[in-house]
Structure 1
Amino acid sequence: MAPSQYGATAYVLLTVISVITLKELNTEVQKPYMDEPFHVPQVQAYCRGEWTYWDPKITTPPGLYGLTIIMKNIFLFKCNLPTLRLTPLVTLLVLPFALTRLLCFHQRVRTPSSSFVPTLDAVVLSAFPIVWFFGFLYYTEVPSLLFVVSTIVASSQNKHKLAALLGLISCTFRQTNIIWVLYAYASSQLMYLKYRRVGNDGKPPAKLHDPPALDAGPRDLIRTVLSLPGVLLDILPAFIPYAIVCAIFAGFVIWNGGIVLGDKSNHVPAFHIPQLYYFVAFSTMLGWPVLISTHGGPRLLMRKVYNKMFKTPSRIAITLVLSLIMGVTVHKFTIHHPFLLSDNRHYTFYVWKRLFLPHPIVPYLYIPGYIACAWMWFLTIGRDKSQLQALLLPICTLPILLPTPLLEPRYFLIPYILMRAQVVDVPVWGLLLEGAWYAAVNAVTMWVFLYKERVGVGRFMW
C-alpha cells in the first residue's frame, strides 16, 4: 500500500469512528457538561441575535461562537446541543489536512499532490487523546489548535499576511495563542535564513550563526546574538503583519485590564516552574511510540541519554547541579491547586493523589526522570534541527506554561502537537504503534466517560 493510501484509509477510519462517537455521546450526554454550561447558553444567545449578552464567567474570547454562527448560516442548523457539538468535530476532521502541511514543512518534503489526501502521520496526530476527546464537546481546544497550525503553515509558505490574519483569529479562541503567532513568524524566518540563496547582486547574504543543535554549545548562543544584527534588516519586513496583530492584542489587554476575560479570580497567574517538568513527563508518557521508533530504536536512544547525563565526570556534575536546581524549584514553586485536589473527575486528580502526595519526598524522586525525558525529546528532534530551531519551541512554551497554576493536560496540547510535528523520521510501523496507543487511550477514556457515570460525582474525562 502506498503512503498516500495509508493516509486516505486512516482518515476514513478516523472520520467514521468520530461520527459514530459523536452520535453516541449525544445520546448518552444530553445535557451540557463541565464547561459546556457556560459556552452553550452564550452561543445560543448569539443565535437569537442577542449580541450584547456576555456571561462574565467566560474567560476566553468569542471565537468559538463566531465560528458556530458562520457554520449555522452555511448549513442552516439549529443551535441545540447536538448540532453545536458539530463545530469541534468539523475542525477535528479538517485538522489532518493542516497537520499534513505542517509535517511536510518540518520534513522538507512536498505536500501530497491532492489537497484532499492527508498523510498517515497527520491523521495519527489528529487522534492524539487530548485532541480527539475534545473534538466532541463544545470546547475551544480543537478549533484553537486548527487555527494555530494553519497560522504556522501559512507563515512557512511565506504567506505572512494570511498567517497574521489566521493568527489573529486563533487569538479569538485562546488569548495565549498570541505566543504561537510569534512562534510562526520566528520559525519561518529561521528556515528562510537557513536556506536563502545569493541575491541578484551576487553578494553572499549575511549569515545568522545557527549550528546544528546536537553540535552546539553555550558559546554558540553568544555568537548567535552577535550575528543577529547582520540579518535583522532582512527579516523585519516579514514581521510587519505580525506586528499589527501584536498591536491589536496589546490594545485588547489594555482595554480589558489583563489577558483574562471574565472571571479573573480563578485565573490568577503564578510562577509554576514544575509545570514544565509535568509537560515533558506527559509528552513522554503519551509520545513514547515516537521516541522508540525513530533512528536507532530505544536502545540507542537510552544510551545517548545515559551519555548526556552520566558518561563523563563533567556530565555527572552538570546532571547533579541541574537536579539540585530543579529540587529547589520543586520545593519553592509546587502548587497544590484547590481545583486539582477537589475535582475527582479528571486524570490529574488521581495522578496528583497517587503519584505526588503519598510522601513529601516523592516529587523529588521524579527529577532524574524529568531530565531523561527532556533529553529524549531534544536528541530526537535535534538530529535535523539547528540550535535555534530546537530552542524556539521550548522558549515559546515558557510563557504558556509558567503562569498556569493548575495542572491541566489541555494546556499541554499545542506545545505537544508542535513538538511532535518536528519528529521527521518515524517509520510506518512506528506510526501504526503510535496510532494504536492513542486509540487505546481514547477508547478507555471515552468508554468510561460515556458509560461509567458516577452518581453524585459526574463523568470522568481528561
Structure 2
Amino acid sequence: MMFEVIFVVISAYLAWEVNKTVPAPFIDEIFHIPQTQKYCNGSFYEWDAKITTPPGLYFCALLLNLPLKLFGGNYFCGVAALRAVNVFFNTLSLILLQKITFEIHGAKKNDSYENSKLQGFALALFPLNYFFSFLYYTDPGSTMLVLAAYLANLRAQHKVSALLGLCSVLFRQTNIVWVVFLAGNVVVKEMVKAEDIKKIETSAEVEDKLARFLVNIVAAAVKYLLVIANLIKIVTLVWPYMTVVAIFAVFLVVNDGIVLGDRQSHVAVFHGVQILYFFAFTLFFASPHLVSVSFLRDFITALKRNPKKFLFITIIFVYFIFRRTYIHMFLLADNRHYTFYLCRYFLSHSVLRFAALPLYIYGGWAINEALEKPKCTNTWKLMFMMCVLLTTIPQKLIEMRYFILPYLLLRVNLPVKRTDLVVLELILYTVVNAVTLFIFFTKPVTWPDIDMPQRIIW
C-alpha cells in the first residue's frame, strides 16, 4: 500500500494547489464543467455545440458527486469536486497499471511483484496523464477505462473487457480503435498458435522483407480463418468486442460522422508526420529503456546490414515531413499550450524539422526492437502500430494528449528486467512533472479579453 498512499497524498496536495491557483473553469473546462453542472441540475437535454466528445465523463462525475449532494450540498458539482473525479480516476489507473504489468511480465516471485508495483507507480506519474488529473478533462477517465478493459482482456474476461471498452468510447470516440485492439489481441494470441503463423514469425528473412512478411501473414491468416473450427473459435471469443464496434457503426450513421459538435475545427486529414512525433515522444519518455550504448551499437549494425530498408524508411519519413505536415489554426492561436511553442520554435523552421529525422528513425527502430518476442510477435506489433496510426494520423491538431493511451499501452508491454531503469524512469517523470507544474504555478500568461491570468499546460 506504500505506493498508493504516497500517490494519493501527493495528488491531493497538488489538486489543492491547482484549485487555489485556478479556481474557475480553465481552457477546455469552460465547456466540460458547465455542461456537467447542467446535468447536475437535471437539465439533460441541453448540450453545448462546441463539445466534440460524448457525455460519459459528465454522467460518471454526476454519479460520483451524488454523496456530496447528500452530505455537503455546497460542494456538489463545484469546480474542485469535478476535478477531484480525475484524481480518483488516476488513482485507479495506478492500481490497473500495476496489475497489467504483473499480468504481462510477472511471475510467482515476490521480486517480480514488487517490480510491477514500482513500474505501475512510475507509469501513474506519466506526465501527460498525471497533469490532466488535476483538471476536468476527459483523458484520465478515458485512460483508466481502456486500461481496465485491457486488464480484463489479458485475463480472458472478454465480456467485461468489451463493456469497459464501450464505456471508454462514451468518454472519447477514438477509443473505438482500442476496442478493436482488444479484439485483435485475442485474435493474434490464437493465430500465433498455428504452425503457418509460427513459421512466418520465426523466419530469418522476415525482418528484412516487410512486404513479403505482410503478404505471407495475411495469406496465413486467411488460411487459418478458412478452417471453420478456427473461425467459430475466434467469433466465440471476439463477439463482445464486435458488438461494441457494431453499436459504434450505428452511431456513425446516425451522427453522420465521428465528431460531435464543432466539426469544422476537427476535419480528418492524412497527417502522416504524427507517427513521427509519436516516435520522438516515446523515445523521450521511455528513454531509460530505449537509449543505451548497446541499443545504439545495434542500431548502427542494423543500418550497415539493411541500408536499402532504412533508405526506404527515410524516403517515407521525408515525404511525411515535407508533404504531410499540417498546422491547425488552434495551434497558432493559443499560447497556453506547449505545442504553441513547439510550432513557433521548431515546426516553423524546415531545417529543424528535417534535422529531427535521425531521431524519428532511431525511435521507430528502438520501439520495434524493445518489444521483444515471444510476447510481442511481429503480428502483434503490426496490429498495435495500425491502431496507433488510426488514432494519430487523422488528427490535424498536434495534441500530445492523443499519445497518452498509445504510449501507456506500448510501455506496459516493454519488458523491464532492471529495477534501476524503472527508478531512472520515475526520476524522469518526476522532473518533468515538477517543471510543468512550476511553469503552471509561476508563469502566468496575460490575455487581454480575460481578466483571470492564464496558465501554460500541455
- Give the TM-score normalised by structure 2: 0.90
In structure 1, the residue matched to 2:457 is 461
* Equivalent residues of 2:106, 2:116 under 8 A apart: no
Q: Quick one: distance in 1 between partners of 2:203 and 2:281?
A: 23
In structure 1, the residue matched to 2:228 is none
Q: Quick one: distance in 2 between partners of 1:17 and 1:79?
A: 23
Q: How does 1:330-349 map to 2 (within 5 A)?
A: 330-349=321-340
> How far did residue 206 of structure 1 move?
6.4
In structure 2, the residue matched to 1:157 is 155
> How far did residue 410 of structure 1 move?
0.3
Classify 1:364/1:117 alpha carbon distance in 2 versus 1 (closer, same or farther; 3 Å). closer
129-138 or 341-350: bigger deviation? 341-350
Classify 1:402/1:344 alpha carbon distance in 2 versus 1 (closer, same or farther; 3 Å). same
Q: Quick one: distance in 2 between partners of 1:270 and 1:165?
A: 30
Classify 1:316/1:229 alpha carbon distance in 2 versus 1 (closer, same or farther; 3 Å). closer
68-77 or 269-278: bigger deviation? 68-77
In structure 2, the residue matched to 1:285 is 284
Amino acid at match of 1:285: F
Q: Quick one: distance in 2 between partners of 1:246 and 1:412?
A: 22
The CA deviation string for residues 245-278 of structure 1, in whole angstroms up to 9 with x for no partner, is 1111011111111100011111011110001101
Amino acid at match of 1:260: V
Q: Quick one: distance in 1 between partners of 2:115 and 2:357?
A: 42
Classify 1:189/1:321 alpha carbon distance in 2 versus 1 (closer, same or farther; 3 Å). closer
Amino acid at match of 1:221: L
In structure 2, the residue matched to 1:248 is 247
The CA deviation string for residues 346-372 of structure 1, in whole angstroms up to 9 with x for no partner, is 2112222212323x3332222222111
SS in 1 for 2:264: coil
2:301 to 289, 301, 307: 307
Amino acid at match of 2:143: L
330-339 or 165-174: bigger deviation? 330-339
5+ residue gaps, structure 2: 70-74, 226-230, 448-452
Amino acid at match of 2:457: M
* Equivalent residues of 2:191, 2:221 under 8 A apart: no
Does residue 208 of structure 1 match 2:197?
A: yes
> How far did residue 155 of structure 1 move?
1.4
1:446 to 426, 431, 437: 437
1:190 to 188, 191, 207: 188
Q: Quick one: distance in 1 between partners of 2:108 and 2:255?
A: 43
Does residue 99 of structure 1 match 2:97?
A: yes
205-214 or 76-85: bigger deviation? 205-214
SS in 2 for 1:46: helix
Classify 1:79/1:63 alpha carbon distance in 2 versus 1 (closer, same or farther; 3 Å). same
SS in 2 for 1:139: coil
| RMSD, aligned α-carbons | 2.3
Q: Quick one: distance in 1 between partners of 2:65 and 2:252?
A: 30
- Number of residues of Structure 1 aligned to a counterpart in Structure 2: 436
Amino acid at match of 2:431: A
The CA deviation string for residues 263-312 of structure 1, in whole angstroms up to 9 with x for no partner, is 111101111000110110111112212224xxxxx111001111222x13
Q: Quick one: distance in 2 between partners of 1:419 and 1:333?
A: 25
1:43 to 15, 22, 36: 36
SS in 1 for 2:137: coil
Q: How does 1:7-406 map to 2 (within 5 A)?
A: 8-74=1-67, 76=69, 78-107=76-105, 109=107, 119-194=117-192, 208-209=197-198, 211-212=201-202, 216-217=206-207, 218=210, 219-232=212-225, 233=231, 234-292=233-291, 298-309=292-303, 311-312=304-305, 315-358=306-349, 360-384=350-374, 385-406=376-397
* Equivalent residues of 1:213, 1:388 under 8 A apart: no
* Equivalent residues of 1:213, 1:387 under 8 A apart: no
* Equivalent residues of 2:331, 2:398 under 8 A apart: yes
The CA deviation string for residues 292-351 of structure 1, in whole angstroms up to 9 with x for no partner, is 4xxxxx111001111222x13xx2232223222321222211112222122221211222
Amino acid at match of 2:370: T
In structure 2, the residue matched to 1:199 is none
Q: Quick one: distance in 2 between partners of 1:213 and 1:111?
A: 33
Amino acid at match of 1:302: L
Classify 1:67/1:116 alpha carbon distance in 2 versus 1 (closer, same or farther; 3 Å). farther
Q: Quick one: distance in 1 between partners of 2:289 and 2:297?
A: 17
Amino acid at match of 2:95: F
The CA deviation string for residues 377-400 of structure 1, in whole angstroms up to 9 with x for no partner, is 111113442111222211111111
Q: Quick one: distance in 1 between partners of 2:346 and 2:246?
A: 43
347-356 or 242-251: bigger deviation? 347-356
Classify 1:110/1:147 alpha carbon distance in 2 versus 1 (closer, same or farther; 3 Å). farther
> How far did residue 118 of structure 1 move?
6.9
Q: Quick one: distance in 2 between partners of 1:117 and 1:302?
A: 26
* Equivalent residues of 2:347, 2:353 under 8 A apart: yes
> How far did residue 207 of structure 1 move?
5.5
> How far did residue 16 of structure 1 move?
1.1
Q: Quick one: distance in 2 between partners of 1:392 and 1:228?
A: 13
2:423 to 422, 425, 432: 432
> How far did residue 157 of structure 1 move?
1.3
Amino acid at match of 1:458: Q
In structure 2, the residue matched to 1:3 is none
> How far did residue 450 of structure 1 move?
1.9
Amino acid at match of 1:64: L
Classify 1:212/1:60 alpha carbon distance in 2 versus 1 (closer, same or farther; 3 Å). farther
Q: Quick one: distance in 2 between partners of 1:378 and 1:391?
A: 10
Q: Quick one: distance in 1 between partners of 2:7 and 2:116?
A: 12
The CA deviation string for residues 162-207 of structure 1, in whole angstroms up to 9 with x for no partner, is 1111110000000000010010121133234446xxxxxxxxx766
In structure 1, the residue matched to 2:450 is none
* Equivalent residues of 1:206, 1:231 under 8 A apart: no
SS in 1 for 2:394: coil
Q: Quick one: distance in 2 between partners of 1:70 and 1:189?
A: 36
* Equivalent residues of 1:213, 1:386 under 8 A apart: no
In structure 2, the residue matched to 1:410 is 401
SS in 1 for 2:123: helix
Q: Quick one: distance in 2 between partners of 1:50 and 1:337?
A: 34
Q: Quick one: distance in 2 between partners of 1:221 and 1:106?
A: 26
Amino acid at match of 1:420: R
Q: Quick one: distance in 2 between partners of 1:212 and 1:132?
A: 39
